[in-house]
Amino acid sequence: MKLQRVELRRLDMPLRTPFRTSLGLELRRDILLLRAETTQGHGWGECVALPEPGYCEEYLDGAAEVIRRFLLPAVAAVEELTPARAAAAMAGIPGHPMAKATVEMAVMDAWLRARGVSYADYLGGVRSEVECGVSVGIADSIELLLGEVAGYIEQGYRRVKLKIEPGWDVDPVRAVREAFPDVVLQADANAAYGLADARRLAELDAFGLTMLEQPLSAGDLRDHAALARMLRTPICLDESITSARVAADAIAMGACAIVNIKAGRVGGYLEARRIHDVCAAHSVPVWCGGMLETGLGQAANLALASLPGFTLPADIAPSERYFAADVTPAIVMGTDGRIAVPGGSGNGGGLGLEPDPNVLDGYTTETVVLPVR
């Protein structure tokens, strides 16, 4: 298989409801999709970088440029392309994991479609459906938060994750716990705190959270290990875990008891699987994080979340959670809070779904066609 032509598309997709985190307020998703055409067919990749640096150093325009100028020429030079060879061809370029993951995802989709093998089967999935949790942004008031959470529980989500930040933490978590004593509850700070906030964060121990996600900065493994010794609530790392080696270091240092895996953050689905394997070897549970992806990214994440070590509900959502109309046929969640893994050669292998050309054109603000020498 050889890369022949690539299409980079920018989409502007309004969010059904604003999504507020310690990183800021998002009203729309600025999405980059990559369609790779090869000698054996086409495949899709989705870039999860945000429009601006914040969650991590990458940002969408930068990722698009790195893909165009450096990553695609490296992958185009590979004569017999496979997902692993695409990743290896890009490994010589330091950093830019979200840009790399976009290219690897598209090559993997094309390679698998050509062989009628699903992402889930290729990655080693063992489940046909995934338990989904909901990620709830910072609300304008506790009353509004409670109403929103009640709605999600009604829809069947298997767990509730609350975004927190200094000034919006103990009170909203306490209110949700008191209103819903039995809900599986966790909090995500997106690195908004410092070790000096330990006493405040220890107050969260009263609410039976399954985890406190990324309280401190991505680079602070040692501080997370110190904080873990001061809290009863298990620490989960997200932004910090950029590779299998870092996962091994974080576990060895006692910096985390749980890991949130996102293929985009770590450079692709092959590295994501390696992190799953490292964590499984240390009996550290993992779950699949989300970046408010379209159905394409959600489909790939569902496949990843079907691996055996993914034992906690995922930040994978039905299309209706974020978009009035998804670019793919809608991903739907049952009232049991589970989503089926698009799989089996029944629907053509690879991601198992395609964007609808009309919906795609409706959201597209720019298309760049890159002939690949």
- State yes or no: is 100 an active-site residue: no
Residue 257: count other Cβ atoms within 10 Å of its Cβ. Answer: 18
- Give the single-character DSSP code of 329: S
- State yes or no: is 262 an active-site residue: yes
Q: Does 290 bind ligand NPQ (CB under 6 A)?
A: yes
How near is the Cβ of 22 to ligand NPQ at its closest, in Å? 9
Give the residue with the Cβ less far from ligand NPQ, 122 or 157. Answer: 157
Distance in angstroms (rounded) separating the CA atoms of residues 5 and 9: 13
* DSSP assignment of 200-263: HHHGGGGG--S-EE--S-TT-HHHHHHHHTT-SSPEEESTT--SHHHHHHHHHTT--SEEEE-H
User: For strand 129-131 and strand 212-213, is the pairing parallel, antiparallel, or unpaired?
Assistant: unpaired
Q: How many residues bind Mg ion (CB under 5 A)?
A: 3
Among 169, 188, 220, 326, binds ligand NPQ (CB under 6 A): 188
Tokens of 264: 């985009």
Residue 240: count other Cβ atoms within 10 Å of its Cβ. Answer: 25
Task: Tell me the CA distances in angstroms from 158 to 133, 290, 336, one per residue in order.
Answer: 5, 15, 8
| C-beta separation of 195 from 216 below 8 A | yes
Distance in angstroms (rounded) separating the CA atoms of residues 173 and 139: 12
Residues 304-323 that bind ligand NPQ (CB under 6 A): 315
How near is the Cβ of 66 to ligand NPQ at its closest, in Å? 19
Q: Does 269 bind ligand NPQ (CB under 6 A)?
A: no
x-marked contacts with ligand NPQ along 46-85 as a string, rule CB under 6 A: ----x----x------------------------------
By beta carbon distance, the residue nearest Mg ion is 238
Span interacting with ligand NPQ, options 85-93, 285-293, 306-314, 336-344, rule CB under 6 A: 285-293
Span interacting with Mg ion, options 106-114, 126-134, 182-190, 343-351, rule CB under 5 A: 182-190
Distance in angstroms (rounded) separating the CA atoms of residues 21 and 36: 33
Residue 135, contacted partner among Mg ion, ligand NPQ, none, CB below 5-8 A by kind: ligand NPQ
Give the residue with the Cβ less far from ligand NPQ, 3 or 279. Answer: 279
For the chain, the straight-line distance linking the first and the last C-alpha, in angstroms and rounded, comes to 14
How near is the Cβ of 353 to ligand NPQ at its closest, in Å? 21
Q: Which residues are catalytic, by number?
A: 163, 262
Binding interface with Mg ion (CB under 5 A): 188, 213, 238
Binding interface with ligand NPQ (CB under 6 A): 19, 21, 23, 26, 50, 55, 135, 188, 190, 238, 289-292, 315
